[in-house]
Every structure is written in structure tokens, then in C-alpha cells.
Structure 1
């Protein structure tokens, strides 16, 4: 225990003392701190502490990577020494918001909405990958597994149903998370999201064909024709509707006596939001969403290599700012509109590239602490979690980060040239191949080889030329 006390003392000193800590919490591997002034942090001293594996700042929080099993012990000593109370993650997030500009606040809001539903989305992606293995032709033979072994057909069908549920009822998931984030009742958010995909509505995936055939159903509301259309796979309609629902609910709670709130608040908020959603929010945001989809599809259809180069190059820098979370919404919008995304496969390659650069540093570094971090963080990046590799190793030495970006950009150019698509979002690393359309596995596998080899070789060569500086 004395070792943890000493480590906590050293960390506190490097952070600028107890007066510089506004709030502190921790996750599985990291201290998450809201600091008064991040300029007071002595990063060099901090990263020379034995238990510290790296540090970085994101979304207004300063995070110190320590490791599973140790971080909670150090945290307890730190809050005792700093004379602050243990805070929840939400409390620390709120304390950190004062450090954010308006754009960062908007990005953080999107992150707060989409991160909680990621486990469901990623799980669905992995299960879709299993379904691909069973139903796609040309993987093990010319015929699919279910064609060769018909007894597996119903198994594959059930797997597809389980995997597809998260995408079919995506507005329900987003509604729950968004209304909770905006301060409303998350159960009403679920109802609102499911309402937008009610089976009595025209399915959004057949909207184009129905419009062309002139078969779109309408409600007549006092002379106003309102399209009776659902919003399956759409992101913007439920985001805006959830914001409206939460604000109406909050306003009503302030004005309705406690004894009548159960009878008035939820029914009125849901009814008013429902009408607004179908009359105004849905049609407007549906058009905006289709416009965003058309923009990205147009860029990647007409300038595929350039699009891959740009997105493959900027994705890792976006992770530093936290703005990469905004593209999750774009991925989900693409999946809902055209049935697949060409952006997410690039994300998987970017993660692999960061892992490869960190792995290269393992072979050239002499510092056992950073050397060990290089190996463990590269494995983590290969499995989709890049922060330890990026912030603990690659950004520390800068050139590995740049080499990873180069490898990611080249790999992204290759897969966009070959029109690689993912019908779902999976684990953003080596397992990502299971979320790629089966007929494009070879092209994506070549992209993975590029993302492994190019950063590994470039980082190793560059490190050899700067051996004295890095050791």
C-alpha cells in the first residue's frame, strides 16, 4: 500500500498539486481528471512515474493511463491526498465541460449519445460477420455453407435476426441514449424511437420505390397531408426528436404540480413530440440525412482514391480531438440509407496501422517500461482500442504516429479503389474483416497487410536513424 501512496504523491505533484484538481474519477485502466489548468501539468515528470504508462487530454479531461487492477488503488490514495471526494464519471465530465469550446461541446454531446450504444452495435456487427461466414458464397467453396449443409440454414436465419435487431430498431437505442443525455426520461426516449419505426408506417428502406410508384400513404391532419413514413436506420430524425422531447418534458415538470405530473408530463410530451416529429422533424431531417449520404457517396464514387487518402489520413488525428465520434453517426446513416458503409473499413485499418507503429517501437526501444507498453498497446490496437498505442507510444515520439497515418492512408486508398463495404460496424481492428462483405474479404485482407507492414517498416527504419534520441 505504501507504494501506491508514493505513486499517488508523485502523480499529484506532476499534476500541479491538489489545488489544480477540480474533480477525479477512473475507468478500468485510466485516471480521468478535470483540471483547473492543464498547463500546470509536468508531463515529463508524470510519465517517468513507474505506474504511469502514458497520458493524454481529450474532451476536456486529462487522462492518466495506469492499468487494470492498479488504477483503482492509486485513485483512492490520490483523492485522499488531494482532499477531494470520489466523483462519478458524469460529475467529472460536467466539471471538465468548462474547458471545452462550442464545437468540442457538440462533439462531446454526440459521443455521450453514441458511446453507450456501441456495445450493441459492435455485437451486431460481429454476429453479422458470423452470418456472412454461413451464407456467403466463395469463402470455403463455390457454394455457401448453408447451401452445402441445409440443416444450418435456420441457424443462420436466427443469427441474422439477432444481429439485425440493433439496426432495425436503431432509433430506439438512440432515443434511449439521447433523451437521457438531454436530461429527459430515457424510457420515453425508447418509446419515441420505436414509434418512428412502428410497423404501421411505410418502411424507410422501400421509400424510394414507393415514391416512384406514387404509393406513399398519408395522414390528413385538418387538411395537412403528412407522410405516413417510418425512419428505419435513420439517425438525425431521432436525435432532433429526442432533444425536443427532453426539453418539453423538462419544461412541463417545472410547471406541473407534483401530484399531476404522472398524468400530464409524459403523455403531453410524447404526444406533442410525436406530432412534431411526423409533421416537421422527420421530413426535414430525412432530407438532410439523404443529402449527407449523397455527398459522401458522391465523393467516394467519383474520387474513391482521394476519399480514401483523406479519410485514412485524418482519422487518427480526429481521434486526438475526439471528433471521430461524429463519424459514427455518418456510418449509421450510410448503413440505413444504402445498406453499407465505406468509412468504417478505413477506421479498422487506421487502428491496425497505429498498432503496427507501436509494435515497431517495441523492437527499437531500450526503456523496459515503454517497451512493455509498446507491445501491450499494439495488441490492444489490433483489437480495436488505439488510445494506449497512440497516446502512450506513438504521439510520445511523434514519428510512429506519422508513419501509422501514412500506412493507414495507403491502405485506405487500396480498399476504396476496390469499393470495399461493411454492412455493419464491428471491432475496429484485425477482427474487422468479419464485418466486411464476404466477396470483398480478399481486397480488405490486402489492405490489412498494407496497414501492418507499411507503418511497421517505416517506423522501424526511422527509429534506427534516431536511436540516440529515443533511448
Structure 2
């Protein structure tokens, strides 16, 4: 029997056996198990299984952290042992039935925005690389100046960096229709209508070069390039409207009538009601976020850096995707990223201290890889497998995050993108900020490491917890 087969068997037994498992799926790092009775789960037994870096309940699923690559192999063995598998989407539909209204709303919000993030990550990297290439010092290495750069090259870089944000409403409406049960392509077309060239360009209006349209003398109508909230609300309403129309239209006419009525009614509603109202709401949210990020003396970085990983533990951190997208669209930079990067790095620093200080071979084998995982931007193994288990390392990690966030705010660090942090996140600071970015990460890691080493962990704590 292979080690992975043995691990799969032990996990199945620890969660109550095959009879207690409804289905199993997996993501990049975790085995996601839907169970019938969570009281049958033997938590210590699960955590004692080899290669398991932690386990917890979230979003109606029992999630076992195994790490990138390992989870795929264990999942294959679980399937071979006859446990029913399901896709993440199927499990998400089942999980939506669990949790309170707020948890379900945040989960749905994440389902909408998470699929869009890869495109925005790529765009952020393109922005960072353009910033690097356009620096005078870099150009000087090739005997060039900014004046030597051709307009065609500039145009090429604009295609790379601007496209995702110009058509952002189309991406948001497509994903929202998909999540709320509509036809994704209808959502895509609705989103494209919101940025139609026939409408006054939003950026042109903001710059004073283009006049917005006034319908009926008082309703402002513009394009919604880079806008998020109007497209999201239009997507929710549109998906529900499509479902209602489809119920009432004869099957023979469904292909023609349903998309026609859905798009006609929704673009009317989106341009004349949803768009103007929620654009104001979106601006208010953005202005509020910017006001917090501008709190003086580094207070904003201290508070956000300290609290961020607490929010991650609750599972509602996806709501901040909206804020980061808005910051990038409006200003072309993202000061939030550097602060949360420090909070991520600090949890890695705390786990590293535990791994180096403990004499337990098993805890060492868990904590050291978990700390490296955090340096790649994935904190779940460090948080749930190590730091939260002993609590004090988690708190020291929060303090380290606050310290790093404080200096990130003081230095005014601004990322060119979102969604990647710590080591991968260096690509977002190639516009002359890389040394300061590395410095704030070192501050966060060192603070959490030193505090954990001195006050946050001892093997006596491990023995007391394992009794």
C-alpha cells in the first residue's frame, strides 16, 4: 500500500468513515469533504495523519489542508477507495445552504469575483513590467531614454494593461450570471453593452473631454468602463429575470424570446436606474476606502495589517476584492496590497519560529513547509496547521502584520496589481519600490519571528495541548 493510499484511508476513517461522507472535492491546497454528521469527525486524529497540515470547517465543508501537489495525489486515492467525488461548483451549491445569511452572501460574492482574479493578476504583472522597462535607469542600460520609446510599443503595452479594466463590467456580469443561475453569455453581452462605444466613455467624462448624456433631462447616462458594482447588481437582477422569463415562455420560443427580453429589459434598467444609483454607491465605497488608507502616521497600515488575517480566518476576506479592483481601476495603483502582504508574511514568520524552536519532528515537518507556503502567499497551512493551534504564534503574527503594515503605509507603497503577495508580489513593485517592499516584509517577518520565539511558543505548550 502506498503512503498516499494509507493517508487517504486514515483521513476517511478520521472523518467518520465512508458512510459519513457525502462527497469529496479539492482545490489547490485542500481536500474539501461534505459530511453528514460533523460530530463524528475526530479532529485530533485527522490532524495527526501524515502530510495533514491542519483541518477546519468553513463554507459548510470540512477542509483538510494538504498543500499544493499533495492534495491531488491524496484526492486520487480517496476516489479509488470508492468515496463519491464532486466538483467544487457542485459542493459550492450544497455549501450555500449552510451558514448564516451574511456568510452565504460573502461566499457568493467570492464565487463571483475569484474567477476574474487571474485576468487582473496578469494585468497587474503587465503594469509592473511596463513600469520596470520604462524606468530611466533600466533604459539607460540599453543606451535609451523615454523619448526613444516608439508610440507603437506604448500602444502595445496599453493593450496589455488596459483591456481587462475597460471590459471589467463584461467579466463581472458574465461571472454573476454564472453564479446566480443565468446564461453566462447573456451576462457577457449585457456587460459589453455597459461599455459600448456608443456611450460616453466614463474616463473621458471624468477627464472633462466628453459630455455625459442626459435622458429625460435628468438621468445621467455614461459608459461604465472599469466599474464593478453596477455590473454586479445588473448581473444579479438579470440572472433572476432570465429565470422568470424562461418559466413563462413556451419551449419553442425560448431560444428567441428569453435572451431578447432579458437583454432589452436589463440594459434599460441598467442604464437608467441601476447604473446611476450604484455608481454613486461605488464612488462612496471607494472614497471611504481611500480615506481610511490615508489615515496619518501609518495608522491605516497598523490597523489593516493587524486585522487582515483575523478576517481571513472568518472566510469573508473575498469582499475586499471589490475594493482592490476599484483602487486599481480608479488610480492605477493599489496601496492595500502592500499592507496585507505584511500580514501574510508575518504569519509565515511566526510559523518559522515555531518550526525552528520545537524539538518535535512532526511539528517541525509541519511548521517549516507551512512558513514557506506563507511566503508564497498561502497562509492557511501556517494559520490552521500551526499558529491558531497554539494561539500565541497567531497573535504574534498579527502584531508582525501590524508592524509591517505600519511601515508600508508610512512609505506609501503602491502595487500595480492585486491578489499576489510576499515573494510573488515582488512583481507588483518593479516600478522603483522593490527595496522598500522587501524591507516592510522583512520587518513583518522579523517582528513575528522574534515575538514568537521569545513569548509565543514552547514545547511545553505543545505537550499541554496534546494531553
Q: TM-score, normalised by structure 1?
A: 0.90
For 1:399-410, list aligned pairs within 5 A: 399-410=392-403
Alpha-carbon separation, structure 1, partners of 2:197 and 2:397: 46
Following superposition, the deviation at residue 353 of structure 1 comes to 1.5
| 1:323 pairs with one of 316, 320, 342 | 316
Alpha-carbon separation, structure 2, partners of 1:304 and 1:340: 21
Correspondence for 1:91 = 90
What's the CA shift string for 1:50-109, capped at 9, x where partnerless? Answer: 24232122222211123455544544554576x652212122222223321100001001
Correspondence for 1:433 = 426
Q: How many residues align?
A: 463
1:418 matched to 2:433: no
Alpha-carbon separation, structure 1, partners of 2:147 and 2:18: 66
1:7 matched to 2:10: no
> Could you tell which deviates more after superposition, 98-107 or 69-78?
69-78
> Could you tell which deviates more after superposition, 246-255 or 437-446?
437-446
The CA RMSD measured in Å over matched residues stands at: 2.7
Alpha-carbon separation, structure 1, partners of 2:45 and 2:435: 47
Correspondence for 2:338 = 345
Correspondence for 2:115 = 116
SS of residue in 2 equivalent to 1:277: helix
In structure 2, list runs of 5 or more residues that go unmatched: none
SS of residue in 2 equivalent to 1:438: coil
Asked whether the 8 Å contact 1:307–1:413 carries over to 2, the reply is yes
SS of residue in 2 equivalent to 1:103: helix
Q: Which runs of 4+ in 1 moved over 6 A?
A: 141-145
SS of residue in 1 equivalent to 2:335: coil
| 1:159 pairs with one of 139, 153, 157 | 157
Correspondence for 1:43 = 43
| 2:233 pairs with one of 240, 255, 258 | 240
Q: TM-score, normalised by structure 2?
A: 0.90
Alpha-carbon separation, structure 2, partners of 1:444 and 1:64: 32
Asked whether the 8 Å contact 1:56–1:62 carries over to 2, the reply is yes
Asked whether the 8 Å contact 2:358–2:458 carries over to 1, the reply is no
1:312 matched to 2:305: yes
Correspondence for 1:188 = 186
Following superposition, the deviation at residue 146 of structure 1 comes to 5.7
Asked whether the 8 Å contact 1:127–1:160 carries over to 2, the reply is no
Residues 160 and 432 of structure 1: CA distance in aligned 2, closer, same or farther (over 3 Å): farther
Following superposition, the deviation at residue 307 of structure 1 comes to 1.8
Alpha-carbon separation, structure 2, partners of 1:394 and 1:152: 52
In structure 1, list runs of 5 or more residues that go unmatched: none
Asked whether the 8 Å contact 2:110–2:319 carries over to 1, the reply is yes
Correspondence for 2:212 = 217
Residues 69 and 436 of structure 1: CA distance in aligned 2, closer, same or farther (over 3 Å): closer
Correspondence for 2:27 = 27
Alpha-carbon separation, structure 2, partners of 1:392 and 1:349: 20
SS of residue in 2 equivalent to 1:98: coil
What's the CA shift string for 1:235-291, capped at 9, x where partnerless? Answer: 100000011111111111111112111111111101110010010001111100111
Following superposition, the deviation at residue 339 of structure 1 comes to 3.2
> Could you tell which deviates more after superposition, 231-240 or 436-445?
436-445
For 1:453-468, list aligned pairs within 5 A: 453-462=446-455, 466-468=458-460
For 1:269-418, list aligned pairs within 5 A: 269-303=262-296, 305-418=298-411
Following superposition, the deviation at residue 154 of structure 1 comes to 4.9
Alpha-carbon separation, structure 2, partners of 1:309 and 1:317: 14
Asked whether the 8 Å contact 2:132–2:432 carries over to 1, the reply is no
> Could you tell which deviates more after superposition, 116-125 or 84-93?
84-93
Alpha-carbon separation, structure 2, partners of 1:259 and 1:192: 24
